[in-house]
């Protein structure tokens, strides 16, 4: 069974959301990061940088949330077609680099966030999910960053109605509620 290493309110929730969506059995290994369990030798063997999330899937250890998401997509979500894979890589990298930086780096937020949100809003006016008409790994990556911005920065999408509906749509999913909001 997959072991998912995470801390309370950590980016492990992103991976947990996807595992819940995929209905893949997993065990959540909660590290007490306040006392530095993520910096102990046992965990440093899994991720030498002492950061969560990380997974152990039958002896294969992977860290970095985007890499874990893409691994899960290929193994459990039938992501095999090269063009579809390229689109998934695009969105996962966009979420963890361009979007996360654009929304979370205070110094550049004012300049970057409106451009990024306007582009996403336009795209979501014509599709239900990020990569088309079904929820994919791209939604897990982009959706969590959009959700975290609301939770951590009190960001409002009132000026971006398609993003607003999208975040409500994903926020209504049982797997999202359990993993991201901690509501079972
Ligand atoms: N880019 C990494 C970021 C990982 C990361 O910074 N995780 C935080 C928790 S959300 C962490 O482990 N921090 C502990 C530390 O840096 O000591 C990912 O997405 O997996």
Encode pLDDT of 53-81 as tens digits: 999 999 999 999 999 999 999 999 999 99
pLDDT tens digits along 134-168: 999 999 999 999 999 999 999 999 999 999 999 99
pLDDT tens digits along 31-53: 999 999 999 999 999 999 999 99
pTM score: 0.96
Question: What DSSP assignment string belongs to 43-64?
Answer: HHTT-TT--S-EEEETTEEEES
Indicate the helix (H) or strand (E) that contains 42.
helix 41-44
Q: Are 28 and 183 in contact (CB under 8 A)?
A: no
What's the pLDDT at 184?
75
Atom of ligand 1 nearest to the CA of 68: 20
Which domains does the chain possess? 2-76 (3.40.30.10), 82-175 (1.20.1050.10)
* Ligand 1 near 52 CB (within 6 A): yes
Look at ligand 1, atom 1, and give the residue with the nearest C-alpha. Answer: 64
Say how many C-beta atoms besides its own lie within 10 A of residue 75's C-beta.
14
pLDDT tens digits along 7-30: 998 999 999 999 999 999 999 999
Number of helices and strands (H, E) in the chain?
Answer: 9, 4
* Ligand 1 near 64 CB (within 6 A): yes
């Amino acid at each position: 069974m997959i072991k998912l290493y995470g801390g309370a309110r950590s980016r492990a929730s992103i991976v947990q959301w996807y595992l819940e969506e995929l209905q893949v059995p997993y065990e959540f290994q909660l590290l007490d990061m306040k006392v530095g369990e993520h910096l102990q030798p046992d965990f440093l063997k899994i991720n030498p940088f002492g950061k969560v999330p990380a997974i152990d899937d039958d002896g294969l250890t992977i860290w970095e949330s985007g890499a874990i998401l893409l691994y899960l997509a290929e193994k459990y979500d039938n992501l095999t077609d090269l063009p579809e894979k390229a689109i998934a890589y695009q969105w996962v990298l966009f979420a963890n680099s361009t979007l996360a930086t654009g929304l979370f780096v205070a110094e550049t937020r004012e300049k970057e966030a409106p451009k990024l949100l306007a582009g996403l809003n336009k795209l979501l006016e014509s599709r239900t999910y990020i990569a088309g008409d079904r929820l994919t790994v791209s939604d897990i990556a982009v959706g969590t960053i959009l959700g975290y911005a609301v939770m951590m920065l009190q960001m409002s999408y009132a000026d971006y109605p398609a993003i607003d509906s999208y975040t409500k749509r994903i926020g209504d999913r049982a797997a999202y509620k359990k993993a991201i909001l901690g509501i079972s």
